[in-house]
Amino acid sequence: MPESPEEWTTAGMTRRRYPRVKARVRVRVVEPSGKTWVGEAHDLSPLGMKVKDGQVAPSSIVHLEFELPGGGPTLNVASFAVRNDPDGVAFSFVDLTRTAFALIRQAVDLLLLGRKLWILIIEDDRSVADVLADYVEAQGHRPILVPNAEEGLAYLGQDRPDAILLDLTLPGMSGLEFLERLSRQGMHVPVLVVSGRSEKDAARCLELGALDFVQKPLDRDQLRATLNALEFRSLEQRLAEIELDLGV
């Protein structure tokens, strides 16, 4: 098989970076013995999938026959059974052709682009927080409201949002201190700062990795444009950082 960053083999269990998406796909599994069964796949990636409703001997090479979300030709992909989990069999694709890889990747990218973003809003002024939440919902995404940086960090300790809208003037830990904490901990979450503070503070926020700085009072067009930028940045982060790990 040609060497390519788009191709993957089971030799050495090499892993590539690419996100998984939740997708319901009907899959026909053909085992080496000739036995077949039909299951439902989820956690789809160009590198593999997990199929429910069956069990396969670990390290078996099977063939998976399936159609991608949105239609297209039926794919027949040789796959390595990594392990059996309570929620299905984890498979990694082997000897995937360039055409099949491109089709699966296109389907995954379209599903990622269509996914709603979870946006964490850290703002102590409830009226401003509600306005921001309305903007986020108007763009088709889902807001999560917390009133201070400490609660924001607590949330990040349990889950990762797709992006953050951050006020600088907060009770307790300031927005700048929050950004510094993210920087020290290596948390790469797109952050949009919304504040009435000075240009000096804006420059510092950008130095700490903020995507943009929007002055209060809010400008609807600027905020809408920045939310659009957050969508693309969030997708870039997922493509660059979410590592498919069938061994976890």
Q: What is the CATH number of domain 11-113?
A: 2.40.10.220
- C-alpha–C-alpha distance, residues 175 and 115, integer Å: 28
The one-character DSSP state at 215 is E
What tokens were used for 38?
């039909």
* 118-241 is classed CATH 3.40.47.10: no
Q: Where does the chain hold its CATH 3.40.50.2300 domain(s)? A: 118-241
> Quick one: pLDDT at residue 179?
94
Structural contact between residues 170 and 122, judged by C-beta atoms closer than 8 angstroms: yes
3-state secondary structure of 142: strand
| CATH code 2.40.10.220 region(s) in the chain | 11-113
Q: Is 205 helix (H, G, I), strand (E, B) or coil?
A: helix
* Cα–Cα dist 189/237, whole Å: 8
pLDDT of 10: 30
Cα distance between residue 13 and residue 160, in whole Å: 27
Low-confidence ranges of the chain (pLDDT < 70): 1-20, 113-115, 232-248
Task: Compute CA distances 196 → 98, 121, 199, whole Å.
Answer: 51, 16, 9
Q: How much is the pLDDT for 18?
A: 55
Residue 17 pLDDT: 41
Unique residue bearing structure tokens 């999938």: 49
Residue 235, pLDDT score: 65
